[in-house]
Amino acid sequence: MKIIMLGAPGAGKGTQAKKIAAKYSIPHISTGDIFRANIKNGTELGNKAKGYMDKGLLVPDELTVDLVVDRIGQDDCANGYVLDGFPRTIPQAEALTNALNELGAKIDYAIDVDVPDENIVNRMSGRRACVDCGATYHLKYAPVKTEGVCDTCGGGLILRDDDRPETVQNRLTVYHDQTQPLIEYYDTMGVLKRVDGTIDMQDVFQAIVDILGA
Ligand code: AP5
Ligand code: MG
């Protein structure tokens, strides 16, 4: 099963993608997580990506597409995957479609997690991410058991650099300009499914399972 998660920054793509990956035993591939790991490790890719990410801008397609095409060609992707944060532009979507066409494959579902802008800034300011394993929490909606400590690995928790309100506004503008057109792209392809992302995260997941099958 090949799945794409669509939705604004903070809509809950990562939250839902992790649950999908666990339930259907397929890899969760987040370009944002890949870039953040590269930044943490001080790689050349990380250094290039950081300047764009901190401003809330997209990392250029030429740094992103080959990375994903290479990743989905790996053995663990043979039974499918859930892509989170890719594609994010029409050229990225076209590159993905072409790469899959060459393999005689196609995307099965593009799930749009729909959350209006007014809910987003609020959500992002409450998000906390683990510096070590990248697990995501929320001060109010997904709290940790011990304050400031990751439930999974015991690492420290931070507010992501790009989750400051002024940067979130930029990310929303970029989303509407460059990423939202993908909803129509995948609708035309006949694979678009929409879920309401404003409800409780377990109920969002149930709506997704209803689409994908138990
Ligand atoms: P990326 O890491 O993909 O960030 P994003 O798309 O902006 O999305 P987020 O990760 O911020 O939000 P999410 O939808 O995953 O929400 P989450 O589940 O965490 O990208 C970061 C940057 O990298 C980009 O800005 C860009 O620069 C670059 N980049 C990445 N991919 C790229 C690409 N393909 N091309 C170019 N550049 C790229 O949830 C958010 C919070 O809300 C959490 O605290 C969560 O606990 C909470 N929450 C989730 N669901 C609910 C719910 N139902 N109710 C209440 N709270 C909820
Ligand atoms: Mg995410």
For 103, other C-beta atoms within 10 Å of its C-beta total: 9
Is 128 a residue of the active site? no
- pLDDT of res. 7: 98
- Residue 104 Cα to ligand 2 midpoint, Å, equals 29
pTM above 0.85, yes or no: yes
| Residue 99 reports pLDDT greater than 90 | yes
Pocket probe for ligand 1: among 72, 138, 180, the residue whose CB has the most ligand atoms within 8 Å is 138
Catalytic residue among 13, 19, 123, 128: 13
pLDDT in tens, 10-34: 999 999 999 999 999 999 999 999 9
pLDDT in tens, 161-193: 899 888 999 999 999 999 999 999 999 999 999
10 ligand 1 Cβ < 6 A? yes
Q: Which atom belonging to ligand 1 lies closest to the Cα atom of 13?
A: 14
| Residue 214 reports pLDDT greater than 90 | no
Is 164 a residue of the active site? no
Q: Which atom belonging to ligand 1 lies closest to the Cα atom of 127?
A: 44
Can you say how many angstroms the Cα of residue 21 is from the centroid of all Cα atoms in its chain?
Answer: 12
- pLDDT of res. 122: 86
134 ligand 1 Cβ < 6 A? no
pLDDT in tens, 106-160: 999 999 999 999 999 889 999 999 999 989 999 999 999 999 999 999 999 999 8
Q: Are 1 and 77 in contact (CB under 8 A)?
A: no
Burial class (CB in 10 A: 0-12, 13-18, 19+), 44: exposed
Catalytic residue among 50, 71, 160, 164: 160
- Residue 11 Cα to ligand 1 midpoint, Å, equals 7
Tell me the pLDDT band of 200, cut-offs 50, 70 and 90: very high
Sheet of strand 127-130, all strands in order from the earlier edge strand to the far edge: 136-138, 127-130, 157-158
